[in-house]
Amino acid sequence: MADAGARHWSAYREFWRLNFLTLMEYKVNFFIWLAFTIVYHGVALGAIWIMMSRFPSMNGWHWQQVFFLYALYMLGHTLNNTFFFTIGEVPDLVREGRFDRLLVRPLDPLFQVLSQPGQIWPDELVIALIVFILAQGAVHLQWSSSTVVLLVLATLGGAYIDFAIQLIIATLSFWVVRLDALRWVVMSLENDFTRYPLSIYNRAVRIMLAYVFPFAFMNYFPATVLLHKSAEVGYTFNPQLGWLTPVVGAVWFAAAYSFWRLGLNKYQGTGS
């Protein structure tokens, strides 16, 4: 067992080394991606700013606080993108028969999916940290040890919520060969609905974002704790829900991982 652990660890280090070499091999492509990432988040923040300049506040949230909401989402989301991004390749791996290779190697298949060398680099995570530093200044976040603990838990838990949803979608490709559409639908739902306070949405959307695709635990609930917000207009909830993000992340990941194991057993390959 110790041996298996050592092999996983050294393979993972090798994976990051290969990522770096790939990045050097395709520098231009990397800088285009980097520029795109900056523009993408810049546009999203610009849209929030335009929206918020029309209204002084949104259900009691000022533009600085909505900016903070986005920054908090970015932390969990980009942490997921840095370490778990290649889960989105599972449908291609299955369709092209490359998944077979992962089953004949002495490593966990999910681990191997997540350590497929590519152009992965924590650049987006760095951008998220910069945005967050600006955002916490804008809302004059009061730092204490519990703030730090909550932020770390929300970021880790948030990444796992994000990953769990992607893992479930990826697992479906063991039954339905082509499902990239679903992935994009869920990703844009996530992007669009996490930008504003949950309380502005109607009940159905709130239930969906809290319990079905629990993206609200990535930023909204932790933000209400950090910004000392309690009962919002037309929406009541326990103000301590923000501490539950890691629990929600763990539960969703556990469910998603069981589903993944089930899918692995059903795997039939692409043909004879």
Partner 1 sequence: MAAAINMIIQASHLTKQFKSVRRKEGVLGTLATLFSHDYEFKDAVTDVSFDLEPGELVGYIGPNGAGKSTTIKMLTGILVPTSGHCTVNGIVPWQDRQANGRGIGVVFGQRTQLYWDLPLVESFRLLKAIYGVSQASYDRHLKKFSELLGLDEFMRTPVRQLSLGQRMRGDFAAAMMHEPAVVFLDEPTIGLDVVAKEAIRNFIASVNKERGTTFILTTHDLNDVEKLCARIILIDHGRKLYDGSIDAIKKRYGPNRLLTADFLTDAAGVDIRMPGVAVLERDGQRIRLEFERERVRADELIVALSRQADLKDVTIAEPELETIIRQIYERGLDRSGPAPQ
Selected range binding partner 1 among 78-86, 95-103, 139-147, 237-245, rule: CB under 8 A: 95-103
Give the one residue of 7, 46, 177, 192 binding partner 1; rule: CB under 8 A. Answer: 7
Phi then psi dihedrals of residue 144, to 5 deg: -150, 175
Looking at beta carbons only, is 1 or 204 nearer to partner 1? Answer: 1
Looking at beta carbons only, is 22 or 191 nearer to partner 1? Answer: 22
**Is 160:195 a contact under the CB 8 Å cutoff?**
no
Closest distance to partner 1 from the beta carbon of 242 (Å): 39
- Subset of 8-67 contacting partner 1 (CB under 8 A): 10-11, 13-15, 18, 21-22, 25-26
Q: Does 272 bind partner 1 (CB under 8 A)?
A: yes
Q: Does 107 bind partner 1 (CB under 8 A)?
A: yes
Which pair of tokens denotes residue 124? 């987006």
Residue 31 is given by DSSP the state H
| One-letter amino acid for residue 114 of the chain | L
Looking at beta carbons only, is 21 or 133 nearer to partner 1? Answer: 21
Looking at beta carbons only, is 96 or 180 nearer to partner 1? Answer: 96
Give the one residue of 32, 39, 42, 100 binding partner 1; rule: CB under 8 A. Answer: 100
Closest distance to partner 1 from the beta carbon of 186 (Å): 19
Task: Report how far apart, in Å, the C-alpha atoms of 54 and of each of 24, 102, 134, 196 are.
Answer: 44, 52, 22, 14
Residues near 8 by beta carbon (within 8 Å), at least 6 away in sequence: 107, 108, 111
Selected range binding partner 1 among 42-50, 56-64, 91-99, 185-193, rule: CB under 8 A: 91-99
Q: Does 101 bind partner 1 (CB under 8 A)?
A: yes
Looking at beta carbons only, is 10 or 230 nearer to partner 1? Answer: 10
Q: Could you give the CA distance from residue 271 to residue 95 in angstroms, rounded to a whole number?
A: 10
Q: Could you give the CA distance from residue 253 to residue 175 in angstroms, rounded to a whole number?
A: 20
Residues near 222 by beta carbon (within 8 Å), at least 6 away in sequence: 72, 150, 151, 153, 154, 158, 242, 243, 245
Which pair of tokens denotes residue 105? 């190697």
Q: How many CA atoms lie within 13 A of 241 on its CB side?
A: 20
- Point out which residues bind partner 1 (CB under 8 A): 3-4, 6-7, 10-11, 13-15, 18, 21-22, 25-26, 96-98, 100-101, 103-109, 117, 265, 267-269, 272
